[in-house]
Amino acid sequence: MTDRLARRRQRLRARQADRFGRMAEQVHVHNPFYRAKWQAAGFDSPPTLDDLTDLPFTTKAELAGDQDTNPPRGSNLTFPFDRYVRVHRTSGTTGKPLRWFDTPASWQWFLDCWLETYRGAGVGPDDRVFVAFGFGPFVGFWTAFEAAQQLGCLVMPGGHLSTEQRLNVIREEGATVLVATPTYALRLLEVARELDVDLAGSSIERTIHGGEPGAGVPAVKRQLAEGFGARVFDHAGATEVGAWGYPCGVGEHLHVFEEEFIVEWLDRTTGELLPPLDPGARESDPSLGELVLTNLGRIGSPVVRYRSGDVGRLCAAGCSCGRPTVYLDGGVRARADDMFIVRGVNVYPSSIDAMIREAGGVAEYRATVRERRQMVEVELEVEPEPGREAEVLRLGLQDLFQRRLSLRIPVRIAATGSLPRYELKANRFTLERP
């Protein structure tokens, strides 16, 4: 690490310590959820940043349990309830949705974090931003929308429109930035092809993706970049955590916004904390770990040492963009709670997805994971893109899974247009239990 980088890391650490201390003081006095947790861990006075690793982790199940036992709002609230102005819900892919409350200050903090993504992607006030999504209780697109407006962009909501109508909005308003999940961006490309709309030649210059792993996967990124004729950026955040990951435009790096979040990284199997990898560690390094996040500015409903469920490879500071913050190489690779084990092999849906994207030629697919007599099996149905030789695609995929995962995964061909398409996050994996 150069002296300059070391000094910038030191300043960052001092800023974190100051903000953590101020947050912990308020939370220790006024937030019943964390006060109880911290007191049980022996902290009768507010912890400092040096105490962080002695504090207990927070899990999603624990927060959901707290909302069940302290209905309807749970006890992770630092201020009197009349100070809160917004509530959002997690998308609830696993278990019951969490409800998350924000004060005006914590909401503004969330938007400020989103601005870091726009800055990293080179988006400015002259841009016209299309947020291709129907606005529901999911927080991601609300924050993307409001942050773009605060940046001075012209911003277009994309709710209650068909995919064809969304393509029209992009054309008519001359949108320069598309914000969408990677799944939906690929869907826009598919429909554009069917309608003979040239998105690569459209006004879109940048695409920003979040909500699910994918945009950091090289094969997906390439497909999006070519399809939109645009630069493709990844973003990461969560309803209960905030917008913690932003792109810098170098390689597939997703920086952790360490000015506002403290990140730890742990081995999921042993629960041990891992040191960040040296920058430039190669793909052959197998380390994938789960991120543990503490936010420093959402004092009304904070998370401290939160097991985010986001899995990736955390690299030490030293990205060639010059930022002093640590980053994820390849973005968020997977969700920890989606993992299943087939004949002793840990399989993440996102790694199967990455292989399918890499192979190319698949318009849509669906996977079924079956548990039978202690055995787990996966089967895949794929819809070939128009003009693809189905049998070649089928055998090619089976061979790819065999080589990469040492697993026989049977692939069946599905009729064109027969598999479901997705507007937000994909839900291509179904689990069947006897």
Residue 344 amino acid letter: G
- Please, which of residues 99-118 interact with Zn ion by CB under 5 A? none
Minimum CB distance to Zn ion, residue 316 (Å) = 12
H or E element, residue 104 = helix 104-120
- Rank residues 191 and 250 by Cβ distance to Zn ion and give the closer one: 250
Name the residue nearer to Zn ion (CB basis): 229 or 279: 279
- Considering only residues 338 to 397 of the shown chain, the ones binding Zn ion according to CB under 5 A are none
- Alpha-carbon Rg for the chain, nearest whole angstrom, is 22
Q: How far is the CB of 280 from Zn ion (least distance, A)?
A: 12
**Closest separation in Å from C-beta 17 to Zn ion:** 24
Q: Are 63 and 77 in contact (CB under 8 A)?
A: no
Among 154, 161, 169, 250, binds Zn ion (CB under 5 A): 250
Binding-site size, Zn ion (CB under 5 A):
5
C-alpha torsion angle, residues 390, 395, 396, 400 (rounded to 10): 140
Q: Please give the residues from 275 up to 334 whose contact with Zn ion meets the rule CB under 5 A.
A: 319, 321
Place of tokens 């202690």: 374
- Shortest CB 331 distance to Zn ion, Å: 12
Name which position in 177, 238, 248, 378 contacts Zn ion (CB under 5 A).
248
Pick between residue 101 and residue 246 the one whose CB is nearest to Zn ion: 246
Residue whose structure tokens are 């893109």? 385
| 187 sits in which H/E element | helix 182-194
Least spacing, CB of residue 7 vs Zn ion, in Å: 18
DSSP label at 249?
S
Helix, strand, coil shares, percent, the chain, to 5: 35, 25, 40
Q: Among residue numbers 147 through 206, which ones bind Zn ion (CB under 5 A)?
A: none
Is position 256 an interface residue for Zn ion (rule: CB under 5 A)? no
62 or 252, CB closer to Zn ion?
252
98/90 Cα distance (integer angstroms): 5
399/395 Cα distance (integer angstroms): 6
8 Å CB contact between 206 and 233: yes
Give the range of 186-194, 248-256, 275-283, 304-312 binding Zn ion by CB under 5 A: 248-256
Q: Which two tokens stand for residue 269?
A: 């199997």
Query: Binding mask 64-103 vs Zn ion (x if CB under 5 A, - otherwise)?
Result: ----------------------------------------
Residues of this chain that interact with Zn ion (CB under 5 A) are: 248, 250, 253, 319, 321
